Amino acid sequence: MKQNEEEKSAAPALTKGFAILDLLAREPGLGFAAIRTKLGLPNSSCHHLISTLCQLGALQMLPDRGYVLGLRLLELGTVAAGQRPIERIALPALRRLAEDVQLTCHLGVMEGMAAIYLLKVEGQRQIRVNTWVGKRLSLHSSSLGKVLLAWLPEEEQAAILQRVEWVRRCANTVTDPVLFRAHLREVRARGWAFDDQEDAESIRCVAAPVRDMQGRVVAAISAVGTVLDIDTDRFAPLADRVAATAREISTDLGHPGQHQAA
């Protein structure tokens, strides 16, 4: 299909409607004028889309005339989570991991050019890491993203890395594509990835791959904490525990249980 044919077959209103939802997920409380300006929408089109989304329960208008996501999306999100077996299967093991290591633990997958959290389980710590289900992470600066990249087929990995915006989020962020490819090879050989204040200051994280019955890496789990929770000497023993949980979840997904680093 040619590009102009693809554009004609798209549903512009649906695309713009999702753009509004995505914007308000990131910046709740925006008013009509701000939404229209940020998305570059015509006045009448923006008004019609917002009105329709409100009627459907996807948006809700606040007393100050700003907008937030509606409860209908919460309902659909709950149903969607229940329909995805990986979250249901992973949750018990992820809870045990969080209790064992006393850190915040996540399950995430790749979506487009980002990693996204599907599950979050808090550890029993007074200092909490500011994360949430649905949060998007940079592929090149988060341990979860590194794991999801490291086991991709070579051509697919190369295509994604060509599109990465090499933003330096912290002093330790790797922004050189050549060095990052070498780092991914180390991740794959080691079997797990770490993020040492690369995605957020004073935050460290360890992640390991989750495989399906064909042995494909379909998700990753991570344990995250502050530099006070995780010193660098803890990386290896923490990784052993995270990787063991990842293998447990993989087995529950139907993977035969042999750890594949290659």
Residue carrying the six token digits 């300006």: 37
Q: Per-residue confidence of the chain (262 residues) as pLDDT tens digits?
A: 334 433 444 578 899 999 999 899 889 999 999 999 999 999 999 999 999 999 999 999 999 999 999 999 888 877 765 566 788 899 999 999 999 999 999 999 999 899 999 999 998 766 678 888 989 999 999 999 999 999 999 999 999 999 999 999 999 999 999 999 999 999 999 999 999 999 999 999 999 999 988 888 999 999 999 999 999 899 999 999 999 999 999 998 888 864 444 4
| Domain architecture of the chain: domains with CATH | 3-75 (1.10.10.10), 84-252 (3.30.450.40)
CA distance 147 to 162: 17
Residue carrying the six token digits 């050549």: 178
Percent of the chain with pLDDT over 70: 90
Give CA separation, 209 vs 37, 155, 218, in Å.
Answer: 41, 19, 8
Half-sphere exposure (CA, 13 Å, Cβ side) for 257? Answer: 3
Q: Render pLDDT for 113-158 as a digit per residue (tens, 0 to 9).
A: 999 999 999 987 666 788 889 899 999 999 999 999 999 999 999 9
CA distance 138 to 65: 33
Model's pTM, two decimal places?
A: 0.70
